[in-house]
Amino acid sequence: MIIKNKKQLKRYKEVCDISTEILKQIKDYIATGKSTLDVDKYAEELCREYNVISAFQGVSVGNAPPYEHTTCISLNDTVVHGIPRENEKINSGDVVKVDFGIVKDGFYTDHCFTVGVEPISQEKKEFIINSRDAILAGVENTIAGNRIGDIGNAIESYVKEKNYSVAKEFVGHGIGKSLHEPPDVPAFGERGSGDILKKGLVICIEAQIINGSEEVYTCKDNWTVKTKERADACMFEYIVMADKREAKILTNTLDWSLFVN
């Protein structure tokens, strides 16, 4: 979607604000002993409370069955698309990724955060912080006139500098009137390559960053993706609008703590 005027930006920002507020409450709900399904059910309750629809329920990709839940919750070596389960408990030391989106007034959102559950090792803390900063390096390149490759190159360069890797099977994407729109926005690539970013273009900038090899596999449920080395993974995702001087983050979570008790 390309936002063409201030009125349209205001309408979409209001939907993004609701989505971000719900995601904040989901984050605050995470605690040791709760199951990932507990968290998902809470997210479903919040959607009813705010009178919005889950953007994920009913989505089908490839051979996967239609998705049944409000969130994807991926712990530790689960990279992305983790299915909430009653028997999957959150424990101290876990790296917890929550991917979430809503539909309201014909607009879609899709964004993700990662938190570490205290007490957690210093290595994991640095991994989470560095993963967020890698995505922000991509966000900073979302300037009208730049190219898609500038975003991916900034993310991948930051990730490699920290000796992590990017899962290349998954990419960011356009968003707005549907959940996934053109263009694809890889978290890797060459500077100066790809489509030119137009003023007002709204995209999801995301990456699945692994503290180890980039090799992953998909489980038998056709949704859950894990690292082959059982290494931890992080995922951050922001809805961002390209503008002339600087990117506009429409789902801003930068003041959130990255760690919960």
Q: What is the pLDDT at residue 13? A: 98
Q: How far apart are CA 44 and CA 29, in angstroms?
A: 13
Q: Is 261 among the domain residues?
A: no
Q: Is 232 among the domain residues?
A: yes
Q: What is the CATH number of the domain that holds 83?
A: 3.90.230.10
What does the block give as tokens for 36? 């990932």
Provide the domain limits for residue 197.
6-253
The pLDDT tens digits for 229-247 are: 999 999 999 999 999 999 9
Q: Is 153 among the domain residues?
A: yes
Q: What is the pLDDT at residue 62? A: 84
The pLDDT tens digits for 128-154 are: 999 999 999 999 999 999 999 999 999
Q: How far apart are CA 186 and CA 64, in angstroms?
A: 22
Q: Is 1 among the domain residues?
A: no
Q: What is the pLDDT at residue 183? A: 97
Confidence of residue 61 (pLDDT cuts 50, 70, 90): confident
Q: Is 87 among the domain residues?
A: yes
Q: Residue 107: pLDDT above 90? A: yes
Q: Is 260 among the domain residues?
A: no
Q: How many domains does the chain have?
A: 1
What does the block give as tokens for 171? 């990419």
Q: What is the mean pLDDT of residues 172-196?
A: 97
Confidence of residue 63 (pLDDT cuts 50, 70, 90): confident
The pLDDT tens digits for 3-35 are: 999 999 999 999 999 999 999 999 999 999 999
Q: Is 258 among the domain residues?
A: no
| HSE-CB for 213 with a 13 A CA cutoff | 8
Q: Is 164 among the domain residues?
A: yes
